[in-house]
Amino acid sequence: MIIFYLIIFIFGLAIGSFLNVVIFRLETGDKIINDRSKCLYCGHKLSWYDLVPVFSFLFLKGKCRYCRKKISFQYPIIEITTGLLFILVCCYFPFVSSIPLLIEWLFLFYMLSVLIVVLSYDLKHFIIPDKIIFPAVIIALIYNLIFANLQFLNTLAAALVGSLFLFSILLLTKGKGMGGGDVKLAFLMGLILGWPVLLFAMLISFILGSIYGIPLVIAGKKKMNSMVPFGPFLVMGTFIALFWGNEIINWYIQTFFV
Question: Are 9 and 69 within one domain?
Answer: yes
Question: Are 18 and 137 within one domain?
Answer: no
Question: Are 51 and 151 within one domain?
Answer: no
Question: Are 137 and 79 within one domain?
Answer: no
Per-residue pLDDT of the chain (258 residues; tens, 9 = 90+): 789 999 999 999 999 999 998 998 888 777 777 666 777 767 667 776 777 889 888 887 888 777 888 888 889 999 999 999 999 999 998 765 555 778 889 999 999 999 999 999 999 889 999 999 999 999 999 999 988 766 889 999 999 999 999 999 999 888 776 889 999 999 999 999 999 999 999 999 999 998 987 787 677 666 655 567 899 999 999 999 999 999 999 988 888 876
Angstrom distance (rounded) from CA 68 to CA 60: 9
Question: Are 146 and 192 within one domain?
Answer: yes
Q: Work out how many domains the chain is built from and give that number.
A: 2
Question: Are 119 and 228 within one domain?
Answer: no
Q: How many CB atoms lie within 10 A of CB 105?
A: 16
Q: Domain limits at 68?
A: 1-125
Burial 9-31 (b: 16+ CB within 10 A, else e): beebbbbbbbbbbbbbebeeeee
Question: Are 45 and 121 within one domain?
Answer: yes
Question: Are 113 and 229 within one domain?
Answer: no
In order of 33, 144, 165, 189, 193, the CA distances from 156 in angstroms are 32, 9, 14, 10, 10
Question: Are 245 and 133 within one domain?
Answer: yes
